[in-house]
Structure 1
């Protein structure tokens, strides 16, 4: 399949403010995006993306009839739309509010106002999700790599699955928390574990400790996916449990690919 470039992108912009929509559209055009459709509400966004599709959806957080989170979940819960990258543009700084978008599979979060460099990075991150390349490994056939994905958010698991499948990994199992993951680890063999940090019943730290200190699983590489700051106290503790790599939410496809190549062996 032919790869898309930035100028090929059809962007659906969801923004209630005429002024803000003009500013964002102008910045998109300067980045060489050729097609930008604008809607103002959740209802219109759902109608537009269902009727005409889009390569990327860029949305404000707060809309007159709801929030951008409703648009994001609508996209991610529809198998026909779920692969569309979603970018949030918001002045919101509350971690809990932003976490909701990260858990639902947002591709990028842009501050409002944002600099052109922020938009450029977000568009490139979206292109990485659209233009997937199979991972090349020396030590494994990528199609044979067995991966356990652990996250209490179904939407987050779906997002991680799509990113990994886009790289050619097809043998994936999912667990909704650490306790469920333990059951699967006892019953199956895995080459890699990708786990969230914050989960009920058993969190990512406890799961990582079990994996690392159990003789049957100690060899399995672990990627921790988290929305917490890498320099937080929690993350410092996590690194002491033997996690091989920390990955931010939302994470970029190229970043994940580099981690996998390093952990599993690269043909490059």
Structure 2
């Protein structure tokens, strides 16, 4: 498959303010993105999507007819757009308001105002997601590896499995929490684990502790993804035996680099 570039992207910009749409449009054009459709409401966005399927939806948080979460749910319910990358652009800083988007598998959350570096990173992540490229390893054939993905968010699991699939990992088992993951690990051998931290029943730290205390599993690579911001909890995560930690939302390039380090060293 020919690799896309940022200039190939078709973006749907959903923003109620005409002035903000103009600002963001100018920034996108600075990044060589010229195929930009615009909408001011959720209804207009869905109408646009029905006509032209975008490569990326860049959305504000609040609209007269709902929120970005309403739009995201509508988009995920459309079979042709279920996997379309979604980027939130917002001045909202309250973690509780942003958490649901971090758990939903968005490609990026950009602050208002955002820097060109923020925007470039988000566009690069979109290109990576839309351009599968098999990870080359010295010690393994990536297509032969089996992964266990653990997250209580179905949409987050979909995002992680899509990124892994793009890298060549197609044998993937999913678990909704640490308890289900442990049940899986007692019956099935896997080559590495990608787990969330905050989960019901048994969280990611407890799952990692189980793995490290198991004679059979103790050397199993564990990559943890989390939206956690609390310093005390982050310190606990870093000391629970994980091999690598990555923030939500994450870029495919970050996952690629970490897996290369974990599996080839």
Q: TM-score normalized by structure 1?
A: 0.95
Partner residue, 2:224? 224
Partner residue, 1:26? 26
After TM superposition, the structure 1 = structure 2 runs for residues 117-136 of structure 1, keeping only pairs within 5 Å, are 117-136=117-136
Per-residue CA distance 1:131-161 (angstroms, 9 max, x = gap): 2210111222111111000000001101111
Partner residue, 2:91? 91
Q: 1:247 and 2:242 equivalent? A: no
Structure 1 residue 79: Cα displacement = 4.1
Structure 1 residue 72: Cα displacement = 2.1
Structure 1 residue 78: Cα displacement = 3.8
Cα distance in 2 for partners of 1:119, 1:218 equals 40
Distance 1:165 1:210, change over 3 A: same
* 8 A Cα contact 1:3 1:131, kept in partner: yes
**Number of matched residues?**
265
After TM superposition, the structure 1 = structure 2 runs for residues 33-112 of structure 1, keeping only pairs within 5 Å, are 33-112=33-112
Coordinate RMSD, CA, aligned: 1.4
Per-residue CA distance 1:189-243 (angstroms, 9 max, x = gap): 01101000000111111111001111121111000100123x8111211222210
Structure 1 ranges of 4+ moved more than 4 A = none
Cα distance in 1 for partners of 2:77, 2:239 equals 36
Task: Report SS of the residue matched to 2:233.
Answer: helix
* 8 A Cα contact 1:90 1:112, kept in partner: yes
Q: TM-score normalized by structure 2?
A: 0.96
* 8 A Cα contact 1:72 1:106, kept in partner: no
Structure 1 residue 130: Cα displacement = 1.3
Cα distance in 1 for partners of 2:73, 2:2 equals 28
Question: Which runs of 5 or more residues in structure 1 are unaligned?
Answer: none
Range with greater deviation from structure 2 (84-93 or 117-126):
117-126
Cα distance in 2 for partners of 1:188, 1:47 equals 45
Per-residue CA distance 1:58-90 (angstroms, 9 max, x = gap): 000111111111222333344422332111100
Task: Report SS of the residue matched to 1:104.
Answer: coil
Partner residue, 1:263? 262
Task: Report SS of the residue matched to 1:124.
Answer: helix
